[in-house]
Amino acid sequence: MKAIYQFSTIKPLIVSGPSGVGKGSLVTRLLQNSQNFVYSVSLTTRKPRPNEKNGVNYYFVNKDVFDENIKNNEFLEFCEVHGNLYGTAKHQINNIIKQNKIKQNKIPLIEIDVQGAEKINKQLNNQCENIFVLPPSISILRERLIGRQTETSDVVEKRIKNAETEIEKAKSFQFIISLLMIILKPVLKSSLSLQTKNIKTSDYYQQIIHEK
């Protein structure tokens, strides 16, 4: 299958992992550390959490609007996660590509669940770089989810059950990073560390992620 987009040296960077693991914290750090990243804002039918802003963290839409986007083939990928719909809009990637025609080195930065990451990599013929954020333990992940106070206990346990399956897929990602590396970085004043496997990875991304 031919990829929808063709990327040369600058490839999209996907940040994935279980719910509550700290994907957003890593994305925030990357955006702060480099102006090369451009965040792809996804659509979702779930309700916004405290401090989340429409058009910044997500585009929060109702199911009718989401279904209309599906009907019009507006998504690069979409899936149902924990009872809510999430989708990566093609126009978000198109806008970043347009920026690259004017000014080089703009990198699509996509924060997404594991299921969505698999779909995007398939659509783009594995042209992306992928980071998996790994929790130190399931118990710590459960504590983080409970601490958010945004889900019922049943929903928390559903997310934990899904996390156990998602963690098994970490081995397919180029980069694996621990939640603790993100949390402790401001305290330790040290760079983010990446545990990489014996596969060819991009020195360019390692350099950006190690900034500051």
Q: What is the CATH number of the domain that holds 160?
A: 3.40.50.300
Provide the β-strand partners of residue 85: 80
Domain annotation covers residue 198: yes
Question: Domain range holding 181?
Answer: 13-40+104-209
pLDDT given for residue 202 in this prediction: 42
pLDDT given for residue 103 in this prediction: 65
* pTM score: 0.80
Domain annotation covers residue 83: no
Query: How many folded domains does the chain comprise?
Result: 1
Write the CA distances from 17 to 24, 100, 179, integer angstroms.
10, 28, 10
Q: Considering only 18-22, 100-104, 193-197, which range has the smallest mean pLDDT? A: 193-197
Domain annotation covers residue 62: no
Domain annotation covers residue 99: no
Dihedral sign of CA atoms 66, 36, 182, 170 in order: positive
Domain annotation covers residue 194: yes
Edge-to-edge, what's the strand order for the sheet holding 195-196?
A: 37-39, 107-111, 13-16, 129-134, 175-178, 195-196
Region of 190 please: left (phi>0), alpha (psi -120 to 50) or beta. Answer: beta
Q: Give percent of the chain above pLDDT 70.
A: 78
Domain annotation covers residue 8: no
* For residue 2, pLDDT beyond 80: no
In the DSSP assignment, the letter for residue 171 is: G
Domain annotation covers residue 94: no
